[in-house]
Amino acid sequence: MAKPKTPGRSPRERTEMPSQTASAEGSRVVEGSRRPDDERFDRLFRPTSLDDYIGQEKHKQNLRVFVEAARRRNEPLDHILLCGPPGLGKTTLALILAREMGVTLHATSGPAIEHKGALAGLLTNLQQRDVLFVDEIHRLTAAVEESLYPAIESYSIDIMMGDGPHASTINLPLQPFSLVGATTRTGLLTAPLLSRFGYVMRLDFYPVEELVRIVQRSARLLDVAIAEEASVEIAQRARGTPRVANRLLRRVSDFALVLGDGSIDRDIAVESCDRLEIDQAGLDEMDRRLMSIIIDTYEGGPVGVETLAAAMAEPRDTIEDVYEPYLLQQGFIGRTPRGRIATRKAYEHLGKTMPVQGGGAPPQGTLF
Ligand code: ADE
């Protein structure tokens, strides 16, 4: 979907973004995936340059070098894969890269490129050095992925003319461009596709200090006064994810406006999060339910992910991509060859007593 040009930018900085896909599990405040109501604020909060972008310092420094080198050579950026859980800024970085290169970003997603013809349409539309951003690149069909290879390698694409016995293939040259792919896990990509990226950037969850800076920056953009301790309370509950931090900030600013004078102090931040049932570790009711199921129904585990998904009434992918990454990263649950286990931290967090090993409790297996 073409978006109008932003005033004050050169025509080459125009951004073309696709419509967003729905999230799997609905309306959690702490969900990392983009929700339709985030759209407007994502645009307000989104940093537009590497200087503005908070966090991921090591990668940012490398990206600065790659952009500068590509600009000096008047070449496109090398193909880049952005990898990490939802909400950490993959789309934002793609936008920034295009902007820093002074080119147009064409954004699409793996599932949206339904056949080779759609890919050919996208590729032949690219101007020199443009960025093609493919979100969820692991979801390209095998046929589309294969026809992407020559485009990435030698800026050309094979197009079938006609069909049946008279079909022939023509090789169409493309403008040199840069592919920026995004995926939640590199393990989901085929080896041939992975090997074609010049730089793989794994985005990590953000530490609290960086989220504090993001919350304060967003509060400034919202024109809302926020106390330092209040931004810490929000940052601590944001699950290492800027999108969650910004969403929490919006909700807390609603409470501040209606219950107070509009400014956010520590008390209003804590009360708002309590009302939203987001605890101090940033866990919501769904996270606590997942841990409770492992503990109460499966005696602490191990329990297979399929069984857990059935008990949560959620698809397996949602368990693996949405709930688990943060719980695993924070050490609330563990993965063993026989399934998921609840750790001591989960028992303590839920105020439950962990059975003594060997005292009747099943062995928990070895962590991976
Ligand atoms: N808003 C969302 N993510 C951000 C980031 N990494 N830096 C600054 N502002 C942001």
**Pair of tokens at residue 38:** 């985030």
Q: How far apart are CA 342 and CA 330, in angstroms?
A: 12
Band of pLDDT at residue 26, cut at 50, 70 and 90: low
Q: Which pLDDT tens digit goes with each residue over 276-323?
A: 999 999 999 999 999 999 999 999 999 999 999 999 999 998 898 889
110 lines ligand 1 (CB under 6 A): no
Tell me if residue 218 falls in helix, strand or coil: helix
Task: For residue range 64-117, list pLDDT tens digits in order.
Answer: 999 999 999 999 999 999 999 889 999 999 999 999 999 999 999 999 999 999
Residue 135 known to be catalytic: yes
Higher pLDDT, 225 or 42: 225
pLDDT band at 364 (very low <50, low <70, confident <90, very high): low
Compute CA 196 distance to the chain's CA centroid, rounded to the nearest angstrom: 21
For residue 28, the model assigns a pLDDT of 83
Taking the C-alpha atoms of residue 29 and residue 26, their distance in angstroms, rounded to an integer, is: 10
In the prediction, which pLDDT does 297 show?
97
Q: Which tokens in the block code for residue 341?
A: 């286990």
Mean pLDDT for the chain overall: 89
Cα of 85 vs centre of ligand 1, distance in Å, is 15
Q: Whose CA is nearest to atom 6 of ligand 1?
A: 54
CA 260 to ligand 1 center in whole angstroms: 27
For residue 212 and ligand 1, the question of a CB distance below 6 A is answered with no
Ligand 1, pocket-test mutation among 34, 205, 210, 214, most atoms within 8 A of CB: 214
Q: Where are the alpha helices (DSSP H) in the chain?
A: 39-45, 57-73, 90-101, 116-124, 142-154, 191-194, 208-222, 228-236, 242-259, 266-275, 285-292, 305-312, 316-318, 324-329, 344-349
The pLDDT score that the predictor gives to residue 24 is: 41
Above pLDDT 90, what percent of the chain? 76
**Token couple for 170:** 């023509």
Evaluate the omega torsion of the peptide bond into residue 36 and state whether it is cis, within 30 degrees of 0. no
| pLDDT the model gives residue 162 | 83
Strands 156-161 and 339-342: unpaired
What was the pLDDT predicted at 42? 79
Assess whether pLDDT exceeds 60 at residue 36: yes
128-149: per-residue pLDDT in tens? Answer: 999 999 999 999 999 999 999 9
Res. 359: pLDDT tops 90: no
The pTM of the full predicted model, rounded to 2 decimals, is 0.83
Q: pLDDT band at residue 204, thresholds of 50, 70 and 90?
A: confident
156 - beta bridge partners?
173
Distance of CA 350 to the CA centre of its chain: 28
How many angstroms does the Cα of residue 45 sit away from the middle of ligand 1?
7
Q: Among 45, 82, 239, which residue has the most ligand 1 atoms within 8 Å of its CB, making it the best to mutate? A: 45
CA distance 309 to 328: 16
At residue 284, the pLDDT reads 94
With a 6 A CB cut-off, is 205 part of the ligand 1 pocket? no
pLDDT band at 250 (very low <50, low <70, confident <90, very high): very high
Closest C-alpha among 239, 187, 240 to residue 81: 187
Residue 365's pLDDT band, with cuts at 50, 70 and 90, is low
Active site residue 254: no
Burial per residue of 105-130, b for 16 or more beta-carbon CB atoms within 10 angstroms, e otherwise: bbbbbbebbeebeebbebbeebeebb
- CB pairs under 8 A, 24+ apart, for 39-44? 41/246, 41/247, 41/250, 42/243, 42/246, 44/221, 44/222
**Does the pLDDT at position 20 exceed 70?**
no
pLDDT of residue 367: 54
Q: Which range, of 36-45, 284-293, 298-307, 358-367, averages the lowest pLDDT?
A: 358-367
Q: What is the DSSP string of 253-316?
A: HHHHHHHSSS-B-HHHHHHHHHHTT--TTS--HHHHHHHHIIIIISTT--B-HHHHHHHHTS-H
Write out the two tokens for 207: 């530490």
